[in-house]
Every structure is written in C-alpha cells, then in structure tokens.
C-alpha cells in the first residue's frame, strides 16, 4: 500500500498540515539556535583567554557531537526540568548540537585576529570592551557566522528526529511515512526540510555578506 | 607644544626598572630619562629587552621592580587607558585595523577622546599631509590597498593624531625594503626635530640609531650598558658598542666599498 498515494496528491490534500509542521520545525530550530547563539558566542569569546576552560568546554562539546541524535533525545527524556516528552527536550538537544560549531568558530575567529592589530589597539588606549566590539568581533564575524550557518543546517536536519519524542516538526511525516511504507509521505517531510535548510543558508549568506567589513 | 611636561621637564623616566617573567629576568636595573625634543634610541641585539622596556612605558607590561614616571607622575598614578592615549605607539607590523579606512585609522584616538567631528577631520588631513600622504587620495582606502611604506606612514600619522607628548616606536621601519626604509628614516628625522616630542625608538640597526637618535641607549643581556650621544657611541670602549660599530664598517665596506658613515659621524 502507499505507492498508489502520489506525492503531489499528498501535497495538495495535506498542504495545511505540511505548512503547520514546517512552522513547528522552524520554531524548534529557531528556539534551539537562539539558545545556542546566546550561549555559544559569549562562551567562545570567554575561551580565548582561558586555556584550561577551553580544553574542557571544547572537549565536552565534541563529545556531545558524537552522540547519535536519536540517543541524545532518548538520554534527555528522563532528565528533570530539561527533559520529558515534547518540544522542550528537543530544543535542548538541538541546542547542544548547534553549540559546537558556534563555539569553535567563535573561538577560532577571535583567536585568529592579527596580534599586531590587538597590540596597537591596546597600546593606543582602547578599553577591553572597545577592543572586543570595535576590533575583535568585526574582524571575526565572517568566521562566527560560518559557524552559525553550519549549526543551522545541522539543526534543521536533526530536528526531523525530534518527532520521535513527540516534539512535532517535519519529522512527523518521515516517521509516519516509514511506518506506512509510503515514499510520498516521507518526501512530504524530507523535501520541505531540505528546502528549509537551503533557504535559511541562503539568507544567512546574505547576512554574512552584509556584516562582513 | 600644547602639552606641558611635568615640573621636572621630563617626559619619561625609568628608575632602576626590572621585569621578570616566570622567575626569569628579562630586564633589570634599567634607568634613563627622556625630555621633550629628545629621541632616545634603544639599540641592542634581538632578545636583549628593548621591546620589553618600551612596553613597560605604556604599561602593556607592568614592571616587577623599580619605578616609571610619565610626565613627572608615577605610572601607578595614571589610569592605563588615559596614559596610553597620551603616548603614541608605532610597531613594526603597524597593526592598522584592516576593516577601517585610512581616515578611520588615523582618527582612532581623537574619536576615542571624543573630539568634535569637524576637528577630527581637520586633524586627519593635517596628519596625512605631515607623513606625506595625499588625503584626498588615501583617506578612503583600506590598509590592504596600501604599500608597506604607505601603511607605516599611516601608522605614524595615527600615533601622532591626538598630539601625544610621547612617542614609542618599536622597529617601525624594520619590515620595509631598504629604499623605502631610508626614505622614511630621513623624513622621520626631520619630523622628529620639528615636533618636539619625547621619542623612545627601538632598533637593532646602528645606522638607523645614529641617524635618528639624539641619544643611544645600548642594551646587552637585559641591562642598559650605557647611554651615549651618536659621536660618543662610535668611540666608546664598550665591547658591545664596538661590536656594533665593527659590524657597520664590515657591512659598509662589503656592500658599498665606501666608509661613508665614518666620514659623517667619525669626527669628535
């Protein structure tokens, strides 16, 4: 069964659900990315001056990245406050995945600023805050944004698995399609997810162009 | 000059200054004074503590012992940010902000000091003219669009923009090709006599030291071996000074076959 249900038919008949699942998907990714950016960028900046902390934090972020996504969702379910069934757990897991690229790129970008530029900035009497905002961040923004783009793509992909723990999103179609052995239904989840990834990446590319000095 | 040095008339004074890093002495017992209008060149081989000494003056490093006075005030009494804005700083790698135009780079300290915008623009034009760059042509360029010599001219303009009474220069012409270097050295000499700043200039090039310095402080193994006028230096009995002078003659006769430097500086 299922093969008789054409993808296009599904698209026409169920476009309302596809749209609402896409929106759900975007909300999951958006919330996770917001958290990852708010934690990852300041933490990445803090790591530049703290060598010991850097080893631990980057190590932990690496370890998280190696956990299979389905397993990470599973691990989080019994965790109090963060876990449980539903969107909150999914957002926490997605944010953890997004953290590594944002963290490493922020650290790499800031640490890569020409030391001569920093020395002259300090030597001419810029305050540490001025150095951060006027020199370090503008000079590393392209690298930081590249990290955000990678994190975004990872998030949009991994978020399809969030449906497994009842968080909704486009993954709902994929799991349903697998259960129904229907390519059409799987595609109804996979194609919008892919388009989402491409579209968001394109928009972030424009932002990157705009912000790069 | 607008800025009045402290009562004793000295711009920079080091008294028995030492600096250690991880229990290793980098410099020790360094004392010297620089008055407005003087250029003290710190001359020495690599790794003898010249740059360290320079960074102690604008407090990029903190001395482990001894005292440093800037414009008659103990360095500890200065807010480091205020102190640095009164001290121009030029380094070999220039360190222009690559994301800023030449105009923005030169205007950096005046803008940090919240000068009125009209005065900042005026000042930038003046400074670019002072270092021999056409403001109309260069103001809107990015550092990546400049040659090495032009970049260092902008570096000097930036350091002088807020009219600091003190100028620190760390091998500013070291990375330039020989012709550009000679050009900038000559122009800088003229500039230095005109500006009446107190200048501390680090180099390992004796020729440059003789050309630019009113005094030469010879560094050897983290200590100041002596302070000489250029003439005194050429006739000093100090072994390290002799080594420098000999290298000059050696290099000179090999490169050009002419003892030009001795002719110019040799008479006492």
Q: In what order do the strands lie in the sheet with B12-21?
A: B24-34, B12-21, B65-70, B73-74
- What's the Rg (C-alpha) of chain A? 20
Q: Which residues of B touch A125 (CB under 8 A)?
A: 81-85, 109, 112
> What is the value of ipTM here, to two decimals?
0.84
Residue by residue, DSSP assigns A77-96 as TTSTTT-SSSHHHHHHHHHH
Closest-CA distance of chain B to residue A48, Å: 19
User: For residues B230 and B212, what is the distance between their CA atoms, to the nearest angstrom?
Assistant: 9
> In this structure, what are the phi and psi dihedrals at residue B218, rounded to the nearest 5 degrees?
-90, 120
Chain B residues with CB under 8 Å of a chain A CB are 58, 60, 81-85, 87-89, 91, 93-99, 108-109, 112, 155, 158-159, 168
Give residues with Cβ within 8 angstroms of B5, minimum separation 6: B11, B35, B36, B71, B72, B165, B198
Chain B's closest residue to A128, CA to CA, is B81
Token representation of residue A48? 């530049």
CB nearest to A139's CB, from B88, B99, B112: B99
Closest-CA distance of chain B to residue A205, Å: 19
pLDDT at position A5, please?
A: 61
Give residues with Cβ within 8 angstroms of B243, minimum separation 6: none
The tens digit of pLDDT for each residue in A57-70 reads 888 888 888 888 88
Q: Which residues of B touch A116 (CB under 8 A)?
A: 91, 93-95
Quick check: helix, strand or coil at residue B198?
Answer: strand
pLDDT at position A102, please?
A: 95
The tens digit of pLDDT for each residue in A6-50 reads 778 888 888 888 899 999 999 999 999 999 999 999 999 999 888
pLDDT at position B261, please?
A: 47
Token representation of residue A117? 């530029």
Contact: A135, B97; criterion CB under 8 Å? yes
Per-10-residue mean pLDDT, chain B, length 268: 53 95 92 95 93 95 94 91 95 93 96 95 94 92 94 94 95 90 92 92 94 94 93 90 84 45 42
User: For residues A95 and B142, what is the distance between their CA atoms, to the nearest angstrom?
Assistant: 38
Burial class (CB in 10 A: 0-12, 13-18, 19+), B31: middle
């Amino acid at each position: 069964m299922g093969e008789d249900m054409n993808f296009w038919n599904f698209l026409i008949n169920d476009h309302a659900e596809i749209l609402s699942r896409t929106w759900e998907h975007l909300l999951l990714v958006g919330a996770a990315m917001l958290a990852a950016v708010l934690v990852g960028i300041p933490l990445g900046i803090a790591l530049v001056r703290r060598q010991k902390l850097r080893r631990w934090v980057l190590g932990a972020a690496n370890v998280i990245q190696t956990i299979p996504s389905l397993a990470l969702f599973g691990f989080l379910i019994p965790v109090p406050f963060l876990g449980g069934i539903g969107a909150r757990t999914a957002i926490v897991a997605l944010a953890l995945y997004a953290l590594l690229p944002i963290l490493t790129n922020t650290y790499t970008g800031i640490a890569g600023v020409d030391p001569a530029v920093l020395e002259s900035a300090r030597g001419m009497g810029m305050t540490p805050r001025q150095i951060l905002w006027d020199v370090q961040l503008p000079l590393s923004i392209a690298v930081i944004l590249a990290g955000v783009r990678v994190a975004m793509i990872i998030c949009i992909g991994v978020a399809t698995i969030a449906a497994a723990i009842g968080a909704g999103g486009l993954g709902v179609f994929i799991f349903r399609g697998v259960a129904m052995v229907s390519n059409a239904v799987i595609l109804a989840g996979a194609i919008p997810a892919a388009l989402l990834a491409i579209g968001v990446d394109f928009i972030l590319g424009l932002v990157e162009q705009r912000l790069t000095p | 000059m607008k800025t009045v040095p402290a009562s004793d008339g000295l711009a920079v004074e080091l008294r028995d200054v030492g600096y250690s890093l991880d229990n290793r002495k980098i410099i020790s017992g360094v004392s010297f004074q620089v008055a407005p209008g003087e250029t003290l060149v710190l001359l020495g081989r690599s790794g003898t503590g010249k740059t360290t000494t320079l960074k102690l003056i604008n407090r990029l490093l903190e001395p482990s012992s001894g005292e440093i006075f800037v414009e008659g005030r103990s360095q500890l009494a200065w807010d480091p940010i205020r102190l640095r804005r009164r001290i121009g700083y030029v380094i070999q790698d220039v360190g222009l902000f690559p994301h800023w135009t030449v105009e923005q780079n030169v205007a950096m300290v005046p803008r940090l000091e919240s000068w009125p915008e009209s005065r900042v623009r005026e000042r930038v034009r003046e400074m670019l003219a002072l270092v021999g760059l056409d403001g109309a042509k260069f103001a809107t360029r990015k550092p990546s669009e400049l040659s090495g010599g032009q970049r260092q001219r902008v570096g000097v303009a930036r350091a002088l923009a807020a009219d600091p009474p003190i100028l620190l220069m760390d091998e500013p012409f070291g990375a330039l090709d020989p012709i550009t270097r000679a050009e900038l050295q000559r122009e800088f000499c003229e500039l230095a006599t005109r500006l009446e700043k107190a200048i501390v200039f680090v180099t390992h090039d004796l020729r440059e030291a003789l050309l630019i310095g009113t005094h030469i402080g010879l560094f050897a193994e983290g200590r100041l071996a002596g302070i000489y006028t250029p003439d005194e230096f050429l006739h000093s009995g100090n072994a390290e000074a002799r080594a420098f002078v000999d290298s000059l003659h050696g290099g000179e006769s090999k490169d050009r076959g002419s003892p030009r430097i001795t002719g110019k500086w040799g008479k006492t």
